[in-house]
Amino acid sequence: MARPPAPPLPLTPTERARLGDIAVSVSLPYRAVREAKGLLMAGDGIANTTIAKNLGVSRSTVIQWREHFELDGVEWVGKVRPGRGRKPVITQDVIDKMITDTRTTTPPDATQWSNRTMAEHCGLSRTTVQKEWKARGLKPHLVKTFKISNDPDFEDKLIDVVGLYLNPPDHAIVLSFDEKSQIQALDRTQPSLPMKQGRPGTITHDYKRNGTTTLFAALNVANGQMIGKCYSRHRHEEFLAFLKIIDREVPKGTDIHIVLDNYATHKHENVRNWLDKHKRFHLHFTPTSSSWLNLVERWFRDITTKRIRRDSFRSVDELVMAIEKYIVHNNDNPKPFVWTKTAGQIIAKVRRGRVALETYSQARAIRVSPH
């Protein structure tokens, strides 16, 4: 004997409208869309068996939809009821331990974890480890270098240099100076091949050394122009010779403020005597271990990556010629580097770094203490 068809599901106009919105949604989960369609069909008096066949579910699923709707209303359409659904296999405690071990420990045979070694360590899959690392921004394979200056006059020197960048004095020029020493004239042992479709350009990994040169460079902070000269050595004699070049290049009557590091040749007695006779020169020394504060270092990166690193030089003269051409090209269309951070912002960041270092050092000392 055939079972009688179920009565139409009673729906108010508001419920029917809300179910209709869910049934045509392109952003809600498919289970919610399918359940809403089934409930609308049930409201039209269509048999449960027919609804199940049209939506690709079982008749018992349609009956459950009706029962849950009568108990909970539209709010629970498409949602998994508490206590149902697949239970998590990996507990949060296991995940927390894995994250803690990633941050505070290392493998016995390496300096950092890989997703493979961490998976073996914690009994997890590599996919799970990678997913949890990605969610927290953890990248054990990467490391960044840093150095916090221990200069007792760090803040005073920082304020002095940053003040020159952000508020240069009137009727003066600010130069960022440094030596790029030991630039090697490297000649590849075999000709390089040009790039072609599907293959980058190639250079041999080995090379022949043909000597070195040192570039003395003074970057005009205001307009990006460069005063540069290559020397075979970088003693105080070469530094003095370069100061004389600057003296000739910069118009008379203009004060010259030079930002430079604490290299001993910059403070040689002969240099100090010369400066005493040339009052328009003013030296501003960066704090120790703070090369990032010298803008010319940014220019050095450009000439290295754009002109020197991938080229081949059969002699020092060829290398010097390439450097000089780069300087001429730079000065034809100079682009200054704009300093944006204030001294206060930098000091606050350095202080946070010192606190973090001290905290970590204390915690590490406790972990490795035999007591």
Per-residue pLDDT of the chain (371 residues; tens, 9 = 90+): 456 778 889 999 999 999 999 999 888 888 889 999 999 999 999 999 999 999 999 999 999 899 888 888 888 787 766 666 666 678 889 999 999 999 989 999 999 999 999 999 999 999 999 999 999 999 999 988 878 888 899 999 999 999 999 999 999 999 999 999 999 999 988 888 888 888 888 888 888 999 999 999 999 999 999 999 999 999 999 999 999 999 999 999 999 999 999 999 999 999 999 999 999 999 999 999 999 999 999 999 999 999 999 899 999 999 999 999 999 999 999 999 999 999 999 999 999 988 888 887 777 776 656 55
- pLDDT tens digits, residue range 158-172? 999 999 999 999 999
Helical residues (DSSP H) of the chain, grouped into ranges: 13-23, 30-43, 48-55, 59-72, 92-104, 115-122, 126-136, 154-166, 236-249, 269-277, 296-303, 316-332, 343-368
Exposed (0-12), middle (13-18) or buried (19+): which is 19, by Cβ within 10 Å? buried
Instruction: Give me 312's structure tokens.
Output: 């081949």
pLDDT of residue 75: 83
DSSP 84-128: -SPPPSS-HHHHHHHHHHHHH---TT-SS--HHHHHHHHT--HHH
> Mean pLDDT for the chain?
90
125-132 long-range contacts, CB within 8 A, separation 24+: 128/90, 129/98, 132/95, 132/98, 132/99
CA distances from 131 to 26, 120, 313, 333 (A): 27, 15, 47, 47
Q: Is the pTM of this model over 0.75?
A: no
Between CA 222 and CA 254 the distance in angstroms is 14
